[in-house]
Amino acid sequence: MTGYIIRRILQLLPVLLIASAGIWAMIYAVPGTPIGAIVGENATPEQIQAAIQRVGLDQPVLVQFWAWLKSAVLGDLGRSIHSRDPVLDLIMLRVPATLQLGLSATLVGLILGIPVAVISALYPGSWIDRSLSGWSALALGVPTFWLGILLILLFAVQLRWLPSASTYVSVFDSPLGALRNTFLPALTLGVYVSGIFARFLRASLLSELKADYVRTARSKGLKERDVVGRHVLRNALLPFVTVVGLMMAAFIGGTVVTEAVFTYPGIGRLLIQAINQRDYPLIQGVILFVLVAHVLINLMVDVLYAYIDPRIDYS
Amino acid sequence: MSEPVLSVRGLEVTFIGGGRPVPAVRGVDFDVYPNEVLGIVGESGSGKSVTSLAITGLLPDTARVKGSIRLGDVEMTEADREILRQMRGQDVGMIFQDPATTLNPVFTVGRQVTEGQVAHGQIQALRARERSIELLREVDIPDPDGRVLQYPHQFSGGMRQRAVIAMAMAGRPRLIIADEPTTALDVTVQAQVLSVLAKRQADTGAAVILITHDLGVVAEVAHRVAVMYGGRIVETGPVAEIFKRPRHPYTVGLLQSLPRIDSVDERLVPIPGQPPNPALLPTGCTFHPRCPIGCDRAICRSEEPPLRAVGEVHHSACHYAEEVARLFADAMPSDRIPASVVARAAAAGPPLLAVDGLKVHFPIKAGILRRRVGWVRAVDGVSLTVGPGETVGLVGESGCGKTTTGRAIMGLIKATGGSIRFDGQEVTRLSPGELRKARRHMQYIFQDPYSSLNPIKTVGDIVAEPLHIHGLYEEMGGGARITELFELVGLPRTVLGRYPREFSGGQKQRIGIARALALQPRLLILDEPVAALDVSIQAQIINLLQDLQKELGLAYLFIAHDLSVVRHISDRVAVMYLGRIVEESEKATLYETPVHPYTQSLLSAVPVPDPDARQTRRRIVLEGDIPNPAKPPSGCYFHPRCFRATERCRVEEPAFEPYPGLPTRSACHHAGPLEAVGSRRGASS
């Protein structure tokens, strides 16, 4: 198992190298330079020249890339052009907020999605299946910004139970404060993924319900509750884990729109801010972070499989 | 006789929903008594599995059940769900076909074996493991203490099926329903499983319903037989009566269409046509369109014959049951031709295909750097020849490398060693382009006719495809050639524009054969071409293959696990074990005087459709399973399972050499005919 994890991490290196080159090239392809943002509108050509030299933009592209890569490997993603703070610090400041929102949104999605899937799969084609499928379609179809605004109108404006603008309060510092601030954005995202979860798990359950071992379990005289709850669900959840992992990775990569609606201080808003300010080191840093987070979550999902599926043996 | 355990009367099962109701079972009566094995025989769609599911109340919601099913004092058709659930596992145990899928992959075998007993409160959860170990021991699972915590994928196929038997028997039910319990297993493993099933039945005194399409298995273990066709029982009686004096033309047809291991027929007599689709049953007697005695009589077309007594305990549903005796006598001469007389003269001249020392080794990679840590020796030095117009059978159990051999000869898998000469040309060193040209005269037919035809192409296009690939469509006659090919395999030209899904399994296999013949090959490699087909259809395809061979002078390399089919069709036979050929000879010699202990065990394990043979036959039940080809045993690969193994076999690999006095080559230190070696052993001990 350890060998497998080491091998996977080694396989990660070329992926990161190619991707970071891609990120670098992408920024170069975009018209305009960050110099204007640094020196301001009324700068003299001398000031501009000095800024270019300071930031290193007069060097050949490959040299710039190599310098960036070298320090990135050592954990130095450069400094933000705008705030002059280290990029890594700016990202790390947002990571706990993003993790808290991403995990709670996934949790909400599972709480809403799993029962919907199980009930639909048990009575396929029935009125309850059809109405629940309608619910999933609705959950997927309603834009998150609109649902977010509706929720703010209801809970913050009408009922005045929750704040309309969320800030990050760590669940470890103040569980109640965290709940007040994270609940609405988590619900907004959770409703959306519950649609994906419910659809995927329903299909997975339906195909497992046709499996031979289900007939075997029934032939032993097990209660239907145990046949579905133990035998079928356990197998149907195996492919489902991959989907949950993918969605979680997407949340950690930032949920730009939802964070904007709730003014939630996550990675997504940091990225928007960086793009607006043409803060190139910060853009590169955030994208690199998102990439690494995706790959690591996928690795975690694969490692998890070794524990939940006895057929998988990585050694 | 005592009270029946199960009594079924007037059982009807109809599936509703999705258009017209489909009658799957139409009035079935039977009883099963304690200590008795009732064999239910039938082809696909006969209603045999639906009957078994009806008994246990496991039919889907779309099924409507009429009639009476009494298990002990409970009327199953009226019992509520909870009672039925209580009876499953406690009163009825079930064994299903494919042990690879009947067990839940994510739970340990031990847990699954006793899960039913725990659910019924027969044992406490804390004692379950102990009980599982006991049950696994009873079905001869080696090391039950260790195995109880393993998962199904860590068990071999035979062990899984034994675990399923243990599971079905755990609650000591009065009735066991075994639905095709050995169909998915190899013949030596089938023998093990059947003997475990028989032993456990004797221990518990349960009644057993054995559902199967295999008449050999029925003859081997059943006491009474019910033959089902078109949703009804068409004949029932004691097993000896059914095999010796069948009184229904369908039963006669089944017996005739079966290639047999204990004799040789020049030609099988297939039942014409297809088994009926339950949604579109013929009027009157459902068998009349395929029947050799009743087809032109009005009563057969208008009136469904009732099941009536034709002997003391023998019933038949045929208007002309009395005439069946003559039909059977005509068709089945009591003194069959001995195998040796039929043997054809060996083909003269240079062989069409000569394989020498063929090896296909797959690397096993492991570790952080994915280094090669070993080889799976799938094919490990196979030599064989096929002459023009000759049929060579290649038999062996699953995992022995027979399919890999066929694919390597075809060039679908790269050979890692040895030589393959086709028509004098070495094909292992050809470039891809040259190989494609050479392959034109060598074609492959796949096992599964259901998945080997592209579903989005018309069958005409499928057959024409090889001609287009080789750019020979116009040259070889275009559309006229396609029509000719269809006629060659017995399909009308009107079907050319249809899609594969519109055809039955047998017809699809005909289309596969037509496709293979398109380029006028000289050699066909047939990989289990009839294994997926019903018995009556199997005989049609075998006859077709034999006719084509005569007409077109084809050579066949016939790869199969079914020794009876191979005996019927082959001129010479090679037996494979773990990547190597252990014995090769002319058909008659190999089946009459096998000299390798593996061949001898294999032949003795094949069920013979003759109930009398039960007593007289000597059976060698091999222990254990086929070893992992990545870690083959030392010396002779067969020695851990061999009844003749000595110290020498453990260390020294036997050479593949001619056996004196017979046209046989074998790889065994102690080769020799069974009796001779047996008596020598007897004398020395």
pLDDT tens digit sequence for A263-308:
888 888 898 888 888 888 888 888 888 888 888 888 888 888 888 8
Question: For residue B176, which residues of chain A lie inside 8 Å, CB to CB?
Answer: none
- How far away is chain A from the Cα of B176, in angstroms, using its nearest Cα? 11
Residue type, B454: N
**Beta partners for residue B664, in sequence order:** B659
Inter-chain residue contact B88 with A219, CB threshold 8 Å: yes
User: How many angstroms separate the CA atoms of B140 and B163, rounded?
Assistant: 9
Tokens of A49: 């020249």
Q: Which of B58, B151, B167 sits opposite A311 (nearest CB)?
A: B151
Backbone angles phi, psi at B520, to 5 degrees: 50, 60
What is B6-227's CATH number, 3.40.1160.10, 3.40.50.300, 3.30.499.10, 3.30.420.40? 3.40.50.300
Contact criterion met (CB < 8 Å) for B368 and A7: yes
Query: pLDDT tens-digit profile of B651-671?
Result: 999 999 999 989 999 999 999
Cβ A215–B87 below 8 Å, yes or no?
A: no
Name beta bridge partners: B64: B14
Q: Are B68 and B75 in contact (CB under 8 A)?
A: yes
Contacts B86 to A, Cβ<8 Å: 221
Mean pLDDT of B421-428: 88
Chain B residues within an 8 Å CB radius of A234: 104, 106-107
Residue B84: closest CA among chain A residues belongs to which residue? Answer: A221
CATH code 3.30.9.10 for A91-308: no
Nearest-neighbour CA in chain B from A234: distance (Å): 8
- What type of residue sits at position B551? E
Give the pairing type, strands B224-229 and B391-395. unpaired
Per-position b or e across B192-229, b if 16+ CB within 10 A of its CB? bbbebbeebbeebebbbbbbbbbbbbbbbbbbbbbbbb
Mutation test of the interface with chain A: which of B49, B91, B115, choosing the one with the most A Cβ atoms within 10 A?
B115
Report the percent of chain B where pLDDT is more than 90. 38
| Residue B512: predicted pLDDT | 92
Mean pLDDT for B101-124 is 91
| B359-405 pLDDT, tens digit each | 999 888 776 667 777 888 889 989 999 999 999 999 988 888 899 99
Q: Look at residue B626 and tell me whether its pLDDT is greater than 80.
A: no
What are the tens digits of pLDDT across the range B477-489? 888 899 999 998 9
Distances (CA, A) of A82 to A36, A274, B440: 11, 9, 71
B287 vs A: CB within 8 A: no
Is B149 near chain A, with CB under 8 Å? no
Parse chain B into domains and list their residue ranges: 6-227, 245-331, 353-576, 584-684
Residue B311 confidence (pLDDT): 87
Strand order in the sheet with B523-527: B442-445, B523-527, B555-560, B391-395, B572-577, B580-586, B664-666, B657-659
Spatial separation of the C-alpha atoms in residues B136 and B143, rounded to whole Å = 9
pLDDT tens-digit readout, B567-598:
989 999 999 999 999 999 999 999 989 999 99
**Chain position carrying tokens 């201080």:** A265
Q: Which of A218, A219, A310 sits opposite B106 (nearest CB)?
A: A310
The alpha-carbon gap from B59 to the nearest alpha carbon of chain A, in Å, equals 10
Which parts of chain A sit beneath pLDDT 50? none
What pLDDT, on the 0 to 100 scale, is given for residue B264? 64
Tell me, yes or no, if B87 comes closer than 8 A to chain A by beta carbon: yes
Q: What is the pLDDT of residue B429?
A: 83
For the four alpha carbons of B503, B504, B510 and B511, in that order, the dihedral sign comes to positive
Q: If DSSP codes are grouped into helix, strand and coil, which group holds residue B560?
A: strand
Structure tokens at A56: 């290193």
Contact B113, B93 (CB under 8 A): no
Question: With bands split at pLDDT 50, 70 and 90, how would you rate the model's confidence at B1?
Answer: low
Strand order in the sheet with B425-426: B371-386, B353-366, B417-422, B425-426
Contact A215 B102 (CB under 8 A): yes
Residue for token digits 């009844």?
A: B643
Candidates A7, A213, A238; nearest CB to B103: A213
Residue B345 has pLDDT above 60, yes or no: no
- Residue pairs spanning A and B at CB distance below 8 A: 84
Q: What is the pLDDT of residues B239-254, one digit of tens each?
A: 999 998 999 999 998 8
Supply the DSSP symbol for A158: I
CA distance A242 to chain B (A): 17
Kindly state the percentage of chain B with pLDDT values over 70.
Answer: 94
CB A247 within 8 A of CB A196: yes
CA torsion B8-B14-B15-B20 (nearest 10°) is 170
Residues of chain B in contact with residue A2, where contact means CB-CB under 8 angstroms, are: none
CATH code given to domain B353-576: 3.40.50.300
Q: How far is CA B539 from the centre of its chain?
A: 13
For residue A8, the chain B residues in CB contact (below 8 A) are none
Indicate if the pLDDT at residue B648 is higher than 80: yes
Angle between helical axes of A127-141 and A175-209 (0-180°, round to 10) = 130
Distance of CA B420 to the CA centre of its chain: 30
* pLDDT computed for residue B338 by the predictor: 44
Cβ of B98 within 8 Å of Cβ of A231? The answer is: no
What is the four-CA torsion angle of B290, B291, B297, B303, rounded to 10 degrees? -80
pTM: 0.82
The full set of domain ranges for chain A reads 2-87, 91-308
How does residue B341 score in pLDDT terms, banded at 50, 70 and 90?
very low
Q: What is the mean pLDDT of residues B626-638?
A: 85
Which chain B positions have a beta carbon within 8 Å of A223's beta carbon?
85, 119
pLDDT band at B679 (very low <50, low <70, confident <90, very high): very low
The answer to whether B180 touches B102, Cβ cutoff 8 Å, is no
**pLDDT value for B332:** 56
| Average of per-residue pLDDT values in chain B | 86
Backbone angles phi, psi at A295, to 5 degrees: -65, -40
Integer-rounded Cα radius of gyration of chain A = 24
Query: Quick one: pLDDT at residue B38?
Result: 95
Q: How many C-beta neighbours within 10 Å does residue B492 have?
A: 9
**How many Cα atoms within 13 Å fall on the side-chain side of residue A189?**
28
Question: What sign does the dihedral B468-B472-B474-B478 (CA atoms) show?
Answer: negative
Cross-chain residue pair A212–B368, CB shorter than 8 Å: no
Residue A221 to residue B85, Cβ atoms within 8 A: yes
Q: Among the listed ranges B42-56, B61-75, B608-622, which one has the minimum average pLDDT value?
A: B608-622
CB-based contact B106 A220, cutoff 8 Å: no
Q: Give B-chain residues touching A308 at CB under 8 angstroms.
A: 106
Looking at the predicted structure, is the pLDDT value of residue B346 above 50? no
A→B interface, C-beta within 8 Å: 3, 6-7, 10, 211-213, 215-224, 226, 231, 234-235, 238, 308-311
Q: Of A221, A226, A309, which is closest to B106 when you measure between CB atoms?
A: A309
The C-alpha atoms of residue B63 and residue B543 are separated, in whole angstroms, by: 39
Identity of residue A40: G
Q: How many CB atoms lie within 10 A of CB B367?
A: 12
Distance from CA of B86 to the nearest CA of A (A): 6
The answer to whether B86 contacts chain A (CB < 8 Å) is yes
What whole-number distance in Å separates Cα of residue A216 and Cα of residue B659?
Answer: 49
State the pLDDT at residue B294. 66
**B368 and chain A: CB distance < 8 Å anywhere?**
yes
Q: Are B469 and B489 in contact (CB under 8 A)?
A: no
Cα–chain-centroid distance for residue A246? 8
Instruction: Write the CB contacts of B215 (distance below 8 Å, at least 6 apart in sequence).
Output: B41, B243, B254, B255, B258, B535, B609
Cβ distance B239 to B218 under 8 Å?
yes
Q: How high is the pLDDT of residue B265?
A: 64
First-residue to last-residue Cα distance in chain B: 46
Mean pLDDT (whole number) for B269-283: 84
Predicted local distance difference test score (pLDDT) of residue B622: 80
Cβ-contact B590, B583 below 8 angstroms: yes
Q: Say whether B101 and A213 touch across the interface (CB within 8 A).
A: yes
Helix axis angle, B535-552 to B505-517, nearest 10°: 20
**Alpha-carbon distance A203 to nearest alpha carbon in chain B (angstroms):** 19
Structure token pair of residue B23: 């009658």
For B431-458, what is the mean pLDDT?
85
- Considering only residues B94 and B532, tell me which one the structure prediction assigns the higher pLDDT: B94
pLDDT in tens, B545-562: 999 999 899 999 999 988
* Alpha-carbon gap, residue A114 to A200, rounded angstroms: 10
Q: Quick check: B342 pLDDT over 60? A: no
For B497, the enclosing helix (H) or strand (E) is none
CA distance B519 to chain A (A): 41
Residues 110-129 in B contacting A (C-alpha not used; CB under 8 Å): 112, 115-116, 119-120
Q: Residue B448: which region, alpha, beta or left (left: phi > 0; alpha: psi -120 to 50)? A: beta
Q: Which among A219, A228, A234, A309 is the top mutation candidate for probing chain B, defined by the most B β-carbons within 10 Å of its own β-carbon?
A: A219
Of A10, A223, A235, the CB nearest to B104: A235
List the single best residue of B53, B98, B106, B154 to mutate versus A (max A Cβ within 10 A): B106
Tell me chain B's radius of gyration from C-alpha atoms.
Answer: 26
